[in-house]
A and B are shown apart, each in its own frame.
Chain A
Amino acid sequence: MEVAATLERDAQLMLRVREGDETSFALLLERHRGPVVNFLYRMVGNQSVSEELAQEVFLRVYKSRSTYEASAKFTTWLYRIATHMALNAIRDGKKEKGQQSLDQELPDGRERQVPDTSRTVEEKMVAQVRVREVRAAIDALPEKQRAAVLMHKYQGLGYAQISKALECSESATKSLLFRAYETLRSRLAHMA
């Protein structure tokens, strides 16, 4: 119910953007900026590339405002654009060129945010290793499986929405997700 209301609100905001309401675009940006950048970051593994791609996604959303129809769920449409952007960037080699190490600092000197609830140095190191292993396991997934699992796990999209975003059938999406989780289980088995 809550999800349906949220989606409906997004579509309403987008319809207002279509009528020239800039504030509604700012609200949509506020709501989806973080999730879209995070999704793209996990897809391409590079902070600056993911932000550049996310800007391109929102630019496309803005440019499409005059033709927007609320026929599809806004987030489905948004992630379809984002997935296309990410897959194209990966194929163009942006990911390989710009892949960042977890130890590397961000360009503006800020430290990468990694959940850190540990107290001792040893626990912190274990947490860092865990992040690195999870990231490597996700990065090693085939592109479509990676996109599907990222949308399912981190963006909270259901397989019906993911199938529309990836433009494949629901049954194919279920298989894609199962194989992705199964591969991750096998790669992360030593950490369980």
Chain B
Amino acid sequence: YDRDKQGTRAFRLSRMVSDPTASGGIEHPAPSGTDLRSLIDPSSRSGERLSARVRVAAGAGAAVRRLSNDELAVDVAGELRIEAADGGALLSTVLFAGDGVEIMEPAPLRAEIVEALSRLRDMHAEARS
């Protein structure tokens, strides 16, 4: 619990550049049942996983195909149901595939992809000196 930020934060030990010092008792103990690992590792979180229906091109979307349990030959285009514990990871994996994968549903996820791709296109289309 970061008292300055008023919230739970994860700190990489190797980035602590000064010697830590004790400053009194624990004022914010972790509530019982808290899964501390899940705070920094989304894949370990229990509960409902994020799901999406995607269309993959033939031979494309290798990373996306690994998120699915559906059987689809790698050299065949088709639809897959994919799942991930973390929405950010799912978006990132689909974006990595470029035009090889298209999210069909849910609509909000599809809209996020379109927004991200539009931002990427516009950002890089600007001439830079």
Partners in one complex: no
